[in-house]
Amino acid sequence: MSLNIRYVSDRTLPGSNIAIYEQFIKFIHVESSTGENLFFVLKREIQSLELHINNIRGQGYDNGSNMKGKVSGVLARLLKENP
């Protein structure tokens, strides 16, 4: 799984312009591609970066049902934690 983060600068960094930035963080090896496991891995990685799941404002996927599933996919699980 690939982890990329898109964010808006908030001028707290010296010399930073207000702009949208996107960064590739890492490739993550996953043992299982179920929505449950992908969510667990994603949540763990977000926490390891000291980011907060409540700050997520959007999600982008490759159209896989395990990612975008409205019942048990990563999308559904993220929305349960961060409506």
Report long-range pairs for 70-74 (Cβ below 8 Å, ≥24 apart): 72/35, 72/36, 73/35, 74/35, 74/38, 74/39, 74/42
**Which pLDDT score, from 0 to 100, does residue 79 have?**
84
Instruction: Give the E-state strand segments of 1-81 in sequence order.
Output: 2-8, 20-27
Using DSSP's 3-state secondary structure scheme, residue 74 falls into helix
pTM of the model: 0.76
pLDDT in tens, 44-76: 999 999 998 888 887 877 777 667 677 778 888
**Which pLDDT score, from 0 to 100, does residue 62 have?**
75
* Closest C-alpha among 44, 47, 18, 19 to residue 29: 44
pLDDT in tens, 2-12: 999 988 877 66
